[in-house]
Amino acid sequence: MAEVHEITKKETVFSFGKEEKKLLSDPINDNNPITVQVLGVCSALAVTTLVDKAIVMGLAVIFVTALSNLFTSMLRSYIPKQVRMIVQLVIIAFLVTIVELALKAFNYTIWKELSVFIGLIITNCIVMGRLEAYAMANSPWKSFLDGIGNGVGYSIILVIVAAIREVFGKGSFLGFKIIGPTAEYALNTTEISWLGWYTANNLIILSPAAMFIIAIIIWVHRASNRKLIDIS
């Protein structure tokens, strides 16, 4: 009897049904790590001056959340309760070290620009928060999907903020020059007379502007999804 049970359990391990789909889609809207759970804001602000930095950071976080969720979930019955923090941190730190060394080897300039913020993925509250809230209590496959979902939800906000900051602060997008005062730009503000008033907003490059942009994103998000409104 036990054996039969084992087999049916194995068949459902990698299933992809409604519940699994919800694991992926939930963090993108209803339970977004940044705008709803307020996790992982620390690194979200410093890396969003340029879109390419934000994309690299997002990919790194997806990798770390997915795999750390998977490994913690696999080990969850062997981890003693008292030292679980340290075990989780060692798993995360191991994965982040892999990301850092890989990035240093393949794209040194981006590594240099991100500097300590790759290391700070370790203490990025999303990773730790999902381990505590989800991976310690659920099966590896579901935890893996939950990790990917949360990583993607985080990256989407990161890329939106970075796009706003790069376009309006520097007049470029992913390095392509869009709007600015010289002939290099696609929209040359000195030649097109009705755009003559436009100058890139330097405030948006500064880090407080990221705070304002996230606040506006939260505002728009909660206005369109009213069940998220803070009642307290």
Q: Is 188 helix (H, G, I), strand (E, B) or coil?
A: strand
In the shown chain, the binding pattern of residues 191 to 210 toward other proteins, with x for contact by CB under 8 A and - for none, equals ---------------xxxxx
Whole-number Å distance between alpha carbons of 190 and 61: 41
Q: Return the residue of 15, 16, 21, 101 that touches other proteins, per CB under 8 A.
A: 101
Q: Return the residue of 23, 39, 114, 164 that touches other proteins, per CB under 8 A.
A: 39
Q: Return the residue of 23, 45, 51, 67 that touches other proteins, per CB under 8 A.
A: 45
The two three-digit tokens of residue 37, written as one number: 């759970």
Return the closest-CA partner of residue 35 out of 232, 221, 229, 163.
221
Buried b (16+ CB within 10 A) or exposed e, 61-97: bbbbbbbbbbbbbebbeebeeeebeebbbebbbebbe
Give least dist CB 224 to other proteins, A. Answer: 9
215 binds other proteins (CB under 8 A): yes
* Residue 171 zone, left/alpha/beta (φ > 0; ψ -120 to 50; rest): left
Of the ranges 3-11, 15-23, 34-42, 137-145, which one interacts with other proteins (CB under 8 A)? 34-42
Cβ-contact 53, 47 below 8 angstroms = yes
- Which residue number, 93 or 167, has a Cβ lying nearer to other proteins? 93
100 binds other proteins (CB under 8 A): yes
Residues within the interface to other proteins (CB under 8 A):
35, 38-43, 45-46, 85-86, 89-90, 92-94, 96-97, 100-101, 115-116, 119-120, 122-125, 128, 206-212, 214-215, 218-223, 226, 229-230, 232
